[in-house]
Amino acid sequence: MTRTPLAPVPGAPVPLRAPRVHRVLRTLTVASCLPYLSLKFAWIAGSRIGIPDGSVLLEHRGLIAVANSVTVLMDGTVIVLALLLTQAWGRRVPAWLLATPMWIAGGLLAPIMVGFPVQLLTRAVTGAEPHRGGDKPFLDEWVFGVVYTGFIVQGLALGTLFVLYARERWSHVWRGRIWDLPSAATGRTLKVTAVAAAVLALFPAAMHLLWACGATAGLSATRIEQRTADFYVLEGINALFVAVAVAGALLLAFRPVPAVPLKTPLAMAWLGSGAVGCWGIWLLIAAGLPGAEDGERASGLMALTYAVGMIVGLLVITGTASFVRRRGA
């Protein structure tokens, strides 16, 4: 059976100019990064735009400056990815060097793309306030609207660019239905990681569901006091992404539903593992940062939930990567 190579064939003609739709999506991606980057550069320079008096962001300026610098680099990477996905030289980039930052970007953006609209809808229907009256101020409300809207546009535009790119370079990987795969295509690594992820996922899924339903077990004192409708929505979405990641891995590894297109479990495993794994890492790092008072720190159970979620995401993407390598060999 002839397989499509993972890299362009030497000497094959490569378009010198990206198609119009690619250029539009690239421009949209870059433009959607500008509000966030502008705010971050302003804050690094000492501006207080969007930061109210008494904000916790004013209490640890050095630490916040470092965090802002890191997030500037992260959002700058989105611009680099948009260029890579639309330039001829991008076809020569090794698969892992492109897939890794795309997995991270997709994982961090996906819960925001789902969660923020649901939070807005919940507020509109229930009349709930985004913050409790006695909460310490964090940022002006308009900042969240500007930043999260930009993130949603980034996710849609960059995600579409990646799908178009991947369809040209790796479409053979997800062609057909899962039952059409030969038994050897899944491999031992995928099955072992899928089962391990499914078992471990029970813990973070249960904790997120409990918190979404109003339980306070394992939450820090500050988190309990500051819970709003937004918190419950976010925890429900966290549980959803854990389920999506594990379901995608199990569908891919054991093929229980023969008629499912192969691209469906691949997309579920890719996005689900990114959301669970990357947010697990991010929240675990945030939980370990110095400066917070005892009641504001993430509890041990919260940190454990983030850590296990991180492991689940890494297990799922490891198995998925093993499958993709077998399909692309």
Q: What is the pLDDT of residues 54-85, one digit of tens each?
A: 888 888 888 889 999 999 999 999 999 999 99
pLDDT for 292: 56
Please name which of 108, 119, 66 lies closest in space to residue 310, comparing C-alpha atoms: 108
Q: Structure pTM?
A: 0.90
- Give the sign of the dihedral formed by CA 118, CA 209, CA 297, CA 276: negative
Structural domain boundaries in the chain: 20-174, 176-329
Q: Could you count the other beta carbons within 10 Å of the beta carbon of residue 237?
A: 21
Please name which of 35, 34, 40, 28 lies closest in space to residue 85, comparing C-alpha atoms: 28
Query: What values do phi and psi take at 177, rounded to 5?
Result: -105, 160
Q: What is the pLDDT along the chain (329 residues), one digit of tens a residue?
A: 444 444 444 444 444 457 899 999 999 999 999 999 999 999 999 999 999 988 888 888 888 899 999 999 999 999 999 999 999 899 899 999 999 999 999 999 999 999 999 999 999 998 888 765 556 678 999 999 999 999 999 999 999 999 999 999 999 888 899 888 887 778 899 999 999 999 999 999 999 999 999 999 999 988 898 899 999 999 999 999 999 999 999 999 999 998 999 999 999 999 999 999 999 999 999 888 765 555 567 899 999 999 999 999 999 999 999 999 988 74
Please name which of 242, 250, 247, 243 lies closest in space to residue 280, comparing C-alpha atoms: 242
pLDDT for 132: 59
Q: Could you count the other beta carbons within 10 Å of the beta carbon of residue 263?
A: 17
Helix, strand, coil percent content, the chain, rounded in steps of 5: 75, 0, 25
pLDDT for 135: 61
pLDDT for 129: 80
299, HSE (Cβ side, Cα atoms, 13 Å): 14
Q: Determine the Cα–Cα distance for residues 122 and 137; give it in Å rounded to an integer.
A: 22
**Residue 254 in tokens:** 């054991």
Q: Determine the Cα–Cα distance for residues 253 and 249; give it in Å rounded to an integer.
A: 6
Q: Which residues contact 15 (CB under 8 A, 6 or more apart)?
A: 88
**Residue 126 in tokens:** 């229930």
- What residue type is assigned to position 183 of the chain? S
Query: What values do phi and psi take at 153, rounded to 5?
Result: -65, -40
Cβ atoms of 273 and 320 closer than 8 Å: yes
Query: What values do phi and psi take at 124, rounded to 5?
Result: -65, -40
Q: Determine the Cα–Cα distance for residues 90 and 29; give it in Å rounded to an integer.
A: 16
- Residue 2 backbone class (left: φ over 0; alpha: ψ -120 to 50; beta: rest): beta
